[in-house]
Chains A and B, each alone.
Chain A
């Protein structure tokens, strides 16, 4: 018996597939750097008048740390399987999974995460390096406990984002061309999750609204745990809210899958 099990092996195959196309992998890593460079110059010029300036409650150094960490975490949590799922639904690849003893989402997500493994490890390594080079940047030193809270918040953020995009990708059961929806939603969710800049930028009203949405718990919250903007019981509170969202999203995904597969009609007759 293979100790990895079917999902473990699907994960491994996802990883192997990435390795088949190494150039593409390195290029994709490289392309992730550009937004960070742009962000760096953008904020540097905004703070140019005075380094004492506070914008949206962030000092220059805090802002740079935020946008760099947020870009890296966005990479870690990012989905990307929604295209695969939609084309499985549209073009009938789903059939091959439905007839085998296989949980569709676990299968897709396993192979996806396998393909993402290197990118995640690389991002985490960069975060670790950033923290080691500037240990004082956030104002205080990290204890093991802080890192553990951050890891928990990040992991929950990953699960939440995967579930959100899973639900979204199943729109393909009802809409046959979902690419526009994906692209649009991707932009909105990355903005609202705080993946581009801190959500304070949006002002009080939008922030009130974002309190009731899952997005800010995906990137904004884990970054703030790491930079000590959220501390003490607020961390526990945030993680509890994450868990609540995860349960809700998992339930929603289950329901959409039920209704969707019932309706599912693969092409051809």
Chain B
């Protein structure tokens, strides 16, 4: 196993303060301590060479989990092994084989061109000249940022900077790569090229990749397997495409009508989600699709009729919500 996580748990302490000067003063002397369970006993395994997506709403505990796996944070309880190392022991041999990229954090020097910071990484990871030159050339070619290497980092665009961060993170050819929102804030083209790059990199180097993203396309394009975490607990582990199946086999029927039909009539056939003029969308359970379809065609003025599965985002949103209710 490349990554093995057992009952990993992390609690944070924090303080609550109410609005107002009086409370600020009170806070000086006494603070009401609260505990947030950011990650609550999650367990999973990732095999070498896998790309796994890590999904969850904001504050679900994704970043905290990645930080523990990279050795930045000590867990409160539980255990993890990455490439056979316990990450938070921060062994040198471990650090040389992993990398973590955080979308909003810089490891490159702001006031200098990227190639200076990259050369520093060459020294840090003790790479020999040949390996460094080859990897660098390969990475900047794949990401198309060769021209920007000599430009002061602060003068690069967000997308170019993110690509440089990726180059810096991969220059030592890590076996495990943890990516926290690598495409955040980027335009569609940059997103695509980073996605493309990660896929290719994974294929060529057999690197294990665990990534979080709020862009479903990232996960869809890259990951065969997805972990969904919500309120610190793992709520789903499997292929992304199965998430919607988990959602009681909902089918979505879109109707084009040639005559107006009242909403309450449509509602008799299923859950009406859209009703705009002569267009309507209904959601029905998969096992009722056939019966409902026949009735619709028979009883309503239908011109056009399409059946599709709801988009994955809906399934995931449903999954997020459902767990919140159970809690």
Contact = CB atoms under 8 A, between A and B. Distances in A.
B124 A96 contact: no
Interface stretch (A14-22, A27-35, A64-72, A237-245): A14-22
A101 B116 contact: no
Contacts of A10: 120
Contacts of A93: 105-106
Contacts, number: 81
Contacts of B128: 1
A99 B96 CA distance: 9
Contacts of B73: 264-266
B213 interface: no
Contacts of A99: 70-72, 95, 98-100
B262 interface: no
Interface in A100-151: 100-102
A92 interface: yes
Contacts of B150: none
Find the residue from A5, A102, A268 having the highest chain B CB count within 10 A: A268
A92 B70 CA distance: 14
B101 to A, nearest CB: 10
Interface string B106-126: 110101100011011111111
Contacts of A20: 111-112, 152
Interface in A211-269: 262, 264-266, 268-269
Interface size class of B (residues with CB under 8 A): 35 or more
A269 B95 contact: no
B280 to A, nearest CB: 41
A265 B117 CA distance: 26
A4 to B, nearest CB: 7
Given A21-B111, A101-B95, A1 B126 contact: yes
A6 B119 CA distance: 9
A96 B111 contact: no
24 contacts: A2-B123, A5-B123, A6-B120, A13-B117, A92-B102, A92-B105, A93-B105, A96-B105, A96-B107, A98-B71, A99-B70, A99-B71, A99-B72, A99-B99, A99-B100, A100-B95, A100-B121, A101-B96, A101-B124, A102-B124, A262-B74, A264-B72, A264-B73, A265-B12
Given A1-B129, A5-B123, 14 more contacts: A1-B128, A6-B123, A93-B106, A99-B71, A99-B95, A99-B100, A100-B125, A101-B92, A101-B125, A262-B74, A268-B63, A269-B12, A269-B63, A269-B64
Interface of A: 1-2, 4-6, 8-10, 13, 16-17, 20-21, 92-93, 95-96, 98-102, 262, 264-266, 268-269
